[in-house]
């Protein structure tokens, strides 16, 4: 659902012409300002240099070129040369001043003279498309002056202005962000009320499709039908006007399109502010104004203004598409108050502005605005009670009241005001203004444009108007770097970068250490294998050494045995012969030798004796015989055997063990 449809469904019972109670049109009935039938409805101006229709569509969706163009930034070089003006014949103009409203768009050439802003030719367009309306006005102005200025200001009802009290000293303004936040709380509800300015009835009257009396008749008829109920009770103001043939369906659609572009549908606002110039009567000393302490205990009047950022972007984009740099937005209400400096020098100045849909009363001095009162108008003619309720109690030192009728002077109102206020009431108008302009355009309708131009060109005090810059001021690069938000972000980013760098270094270091560890592991594994192999070789060498030692010992032993055998074997052979001969000599009668056994170094002799005496004698005699042979009796045993044959004779068993004498011969050594 489009924004326009959502807005049309909102209900505001206080709107007498029934605008916001009208049923929304079907989607196919709404008019898109970029469709050919709307753009070409009035093609009197040459707009060939504007964006083409093909570029207004992207994959079947409508793309708003004005909002896109608003984001385009002018190059520094182009911005510099735009201020260089070539000499042209005739008068030279310094500024383009525009005024927007339900009627469409007006434009005036402004010359910056020494004592004020001088108005030049004026032009007007009722095209609902901002870009083409600007192009039509520019084309008409070029008929009077071929080379036009490239900078402009815009007076529009989309900008609201008000006097608010803020705890901020005029000599110590706060940062832009803090000022915007303070002003937002003051203007948030006021901007919503400003949307009532764009009533369908008022727009139809301003565009010339209805007269004021016709609008009043339609409102009365609508109230009658709504009171009766039924199907007619649901009828809306625009539909009723079409049904009664006051307007055409195309004219109603045209107003709907314009309404949708002018209504503020977002809460994101752009602000402007101007401090009240300090006066001695305020009782504030220079020390208090210049103090660096918080000013929360005091209040100072500020002239502030606000508008929807989306509306601002749309206007900036429209001017960009026409190669014009829009500089500032001014409020429609109160802009003509700046013109009082040319007519009045009183310390107290007052102006009553009568607009199509509202009344405004501005009160101030020569250098400031002290109060702004705005009240919605009822349908019908301007009534004295409405004006009196708005004006209220006037200052005692006020002597003259000026009225701006926007070109529709009412003598009876002037007379009634003069009687009720006891003041000198005059109409604020241009004296002797003779400029080329459309026939239906009154000179007094240009008072707002003239006042805004006077203020923009610094011919009036700054505190008489509050304007909104067309673009947010670009903070210098160094200020951006030093702003708390950027410092916080920078600190966070720096910490994040340090952490990331530290983590990166840690990962890199861990990777390096891991690589080194892998190399050490690989080297350790290789060294371990080599060590194991070396240990195996060492163990094998030890075994081989042991085997070598054993083999060496065995070889030495064998050598000793060979020597032994070489020396003892001949002796052993002779020993046996000698031993046998000795045994024969020492064996007594009655002893018989049974066996002789040799075991290593031992000789075991077994014999039988008839008696114990014979056996002992044999042992003793054998010991003596063996001594020359280096043998001696090691042990002897003479024991009686059992008689097994039944005779009286019992033999004795003699066992003798002979061995070499100790120390006589040892293997590997000789005595």
pLDDT in tens, 207-266: 888 888 888 888 888 888 888 877 766 788 888 889 889 899 898 888 888 887 777 666
Mean pLDDT: which of 228-237, 517-526, 576-585, 651-660 is highest?
Answer: 517-526
Is the pLDDT confidence value at 346 over 50? yes
Least confident of 38-52, 416-430, 533-547, 635-649: 38-52
Do residues 510 and 518 lie in contact, with contact meaning Cβ atoms separated by under 8 Å? no
Cα–Cα distances in angstroms (integers) from residue 149 to residues 83, 85, 165, 318, 528, in the given order? 9, 9, 38, 16, 91
Beta strands at 325-331 and 151-156: parallel, antiparallel or unpaired: parallel
Residue 568 pLDDT: 62
Is the pLDDT confidence value at 54 over 70? no
Q: How confident is the model at residue 99 (pLDDT cuts 50, 70, 90)?
A: very high
Is the pLDDT confidence value at 581 over 90? no
Is the pLDDT confidence value at 109 over 50? yes
Sign (positive or negative) of CA dihedral 128, 134, 138, 139: negative
Residue 317 pLDDT: 92
Residue partners of 632: CB distance under 8 A and separation at least 6: 623, 626, 658, 659, 661
Is the pLDDT confidence value at 383 over 60? yes
Residue 139 pLDDT: 95
Residue 203 pLDDT: 83
**CATH number among 3.40.50, 2.60.40, 3.30.70, 3.30.1360, domain 587-671:** 3.30.1360
Q: Report the DSSP beta bridge partners of residue 331.
A: 156
Nearest to 413 by CA among 382, 374, 376: 382
- Better-scored residue on pLDDT, 262 or 515: 515
Least confident of 48-52, 371-375, 398-402, 654-658: 48-52
Residue 233 pLDDT: 66
Is the pLDDT confidence value at 283 over 70? no
Cα–Cα distances in angstroms (integers) from residue 148 to residues 36, 110, 120, 327, 407, in the given order? 29, 10, 12, 15, 27
CB atoms closer than 10 angstroms to residue 103: 20
Q: How confident is the model at residue 565 (pLDDT cuts 50, 70, 90)?
A: low
CA distance 448 to 122: 13
Q: Return the percentage of the chain with pLDDT > 90, whole number.
A: 13
Residue 131 pLDDT: 92
- Better-scored residue on pLDDT, 628 or 203: 203
Tokens of 622: 């054998």
Least confident of 304-308, 323-327, 413-417, 645-649: 645-649
Task: Specify the pTM.
Answer: 0.62
Residue 395 pLDDT: 85
Residues in the chain: 671
Q: How confident is the model at residue 24 (pLDDT cuts 50, 70, 90)?
A: very low
Residue 148 pLDDT: 92
DSSP structure string for 414-471 = HHHHHHHH-SEEEE---SS------TT--GGGGHHHHHHHHHHTTSS-GGG---EESS
Is the pLDDT confidence value at 449 over 90? yes
Tokens of 431: 């004296």
CA distance 628 to 468: 152
Q: Where are the alpha helices (DSSP H) in 197-263?
A: 200-206, 212-228, 237-243, 249-262
- 338: enclosing H helix or E strand: none
Tokens of 609: 């004796």
Mean pLDDT: which of 274-278, 505-509, 628-632 is highest?
Answer: 505-509
- Better-scored residue on pLDDT, 135 or 6: 135
DSSP 35: S
Nearest to 310 by CA among 158, 190, 206, 169: 158
Is the pLDDT confidence value at 26 over 60? no
How much is the average pLDDT of 467-488?
76
Is the pLDDT confidence value at 551 over 90? no
Residue 647 pLDDT: 64
Nearest to 200 by CA among 164, 246, 154, 160: 246
pLDDT in tens, 125-170: 988 889 999 999 999 999 999 889 999 999 998 898 888 888 888 8
CB atoms closer than 10 angstroms to residue 121: 18
Residue 110 pLDDT: 94
DSSP structure string for 254-293 = HHHHHHHHHS---S-EEEEEEEPPP-GGG---HHHHT--S
CA distance 277 to 284: 12
Least confident of 41-50, 95-104, 545-554, 572-581: 41-50
CB atoms closer than 10 angstroms to residue 234: 13
Q: How confident is the model at residue 52 (pLDDT cuts 50, 70, 90)?
A: very low
Provide the mean pLDDT of the chain.
77
Burial string for 618-651 (b: 16+ CB within 10 Å, else e) reads bbebbbebbeebebbbbebebeeeeeeeeeeeeb
Residue 445 pLDDT: 87
Per DSSP (E only), the strands in 102-157 are: 104-112, 117-125, 151-156
Phi, psi of 525 (to 5 degrees): -65, -40
Is the pLDDT confidence value at 553 over 80? yes
Residue 13 pLDDT: 35
Is the pLDDT confidence value at 40 over 80? no
């Amino acid at each position: 659902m489009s924004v326009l449809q959502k807005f049309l469904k909102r209900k505001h019972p206080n709107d007498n012409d029934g605008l916001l109670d009208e049923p929304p049109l079907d989607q196919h009935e709404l008019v898109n300002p970029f469709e050919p039938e709307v753009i070409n409805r009035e093609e009197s101006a040459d707009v060939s240099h504007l964006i083409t229709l093909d570029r207004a569509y992207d994959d079947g969706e409508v793309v708003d070129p004005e909002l896109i163009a608003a984001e385009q930034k002018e190059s520094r070089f182009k911005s510099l040369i735009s201020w260089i003006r070539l000499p042209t014949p005739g008068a030279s103009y310094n500024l383009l001043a525009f005024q927007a409203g339900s009627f469409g768009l007006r434009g005036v050439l402004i010359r910056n003279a020494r004592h004020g802003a001088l108005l030049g030719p004026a032009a007007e367009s009722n095209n609902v498309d901002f870009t083409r309306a600007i192009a039509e006005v520019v084309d008409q102005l070029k008929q009077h002056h071929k080379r036009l200025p490239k900078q402009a200001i815009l007076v529009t009802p989309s900008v609201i202005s008000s006097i608010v009290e803020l705890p901020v000293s005029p000599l110590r303004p706060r940062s832009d962000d803090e000022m915007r936040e303070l002003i937002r709380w003051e203007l948030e509800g006021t901007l919503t009320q400003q949307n009532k300015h764009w009533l369908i009835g008022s727009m139809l009257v301003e565009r010339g499709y209805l007269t004021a009396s016709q609008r009043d008749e339609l409102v009365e008829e609508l109230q009658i039908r709504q009171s009766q109920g039924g199907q007619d009770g649901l009828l809306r103001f625009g539909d009723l006007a079409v049904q009664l043939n006051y307007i055409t369906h195309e004219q109603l659609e045209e107003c709907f399109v314009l309404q949708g572009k002018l209504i503020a549908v977002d809460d994101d606002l752009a602000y402007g502010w101007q401090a009240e110039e300090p006066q001695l009567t305020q009782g504030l000393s220079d020390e208090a104004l210049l103090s660096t302490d918080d000013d929360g205990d005091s209040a100072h009047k500020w002239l502030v203004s606000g508008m929807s950022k989306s509306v601002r972007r749309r206007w900036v984009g429209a001017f960009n598409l026409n190669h014009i740099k829009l500089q500032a937005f001014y409020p429609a209400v109160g802009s003509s108050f700046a013109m009082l400096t040319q007519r009045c020098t009183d310390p107290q100045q007052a102006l009553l502005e009568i607009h199509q849909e509202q009344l405004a009363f501005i009160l101030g001095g020569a250098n400031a605005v002290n109060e702004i009162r705005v009240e919605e108008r009822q349908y019908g003619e301007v009534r004295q009670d409405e004006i009196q309720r708005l004006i209220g109690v006037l200052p005692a030192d006020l002597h003259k009241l000026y009225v701006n009728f926007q070109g529709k002077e009412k003598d009876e109102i002037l007379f009634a005001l003069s009687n009720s206020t006891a003041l000198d009431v005059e109409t604020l108008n241009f004296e002797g203004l003779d400029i080329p302009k459309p026939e239906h355009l009154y000179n007094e309708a240009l008072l707002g444009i003239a006042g805004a131009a006077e203020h923009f060109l610094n011919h009036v005090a700054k505190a008489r108007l509050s304007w909104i810059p067309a673009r947010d001021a670009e903070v210098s690069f160094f200020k951006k770097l030093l702003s708390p938000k950027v410092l916080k972000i920078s600190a966070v980013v720096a910490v994040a970068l340090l952490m990331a760098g530290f983590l990166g270094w840690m990962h890199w270091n861990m990777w390096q250490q891991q690589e080194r560890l892998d190399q050490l592991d690989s080297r350790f594994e290789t060294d371990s294998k080599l060590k194991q192999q070396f240990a195996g070789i060492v163990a094998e060498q030890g075994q081989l050494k042991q085997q070598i030692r054993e083999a060496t010992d065995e070889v030495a032993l064998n050598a000793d045995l060979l020597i032994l055998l070489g020396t003892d074997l001949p002796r052993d052979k002779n020993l046996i012969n000698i031993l046998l001969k000795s045994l024969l000599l020492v064996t007594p009668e009655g002893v018989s030798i049974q066996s002789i056994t040799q075991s290593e170094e031992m000789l075991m002799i077994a014999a039988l004796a008839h008696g114990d005496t014979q056996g002992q004698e044999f042992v003793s005699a054998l010991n003596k015989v063996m001594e020359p042979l280096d043998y001696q009796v090691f042990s002897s045993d003479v024991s009686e055997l059992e008689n097994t044959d039944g005779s009286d004779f019992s033999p004795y068993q003699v066992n003798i063990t002979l061995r070499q004498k100790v120390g006589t011969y040892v293997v590997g050594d000789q005595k």
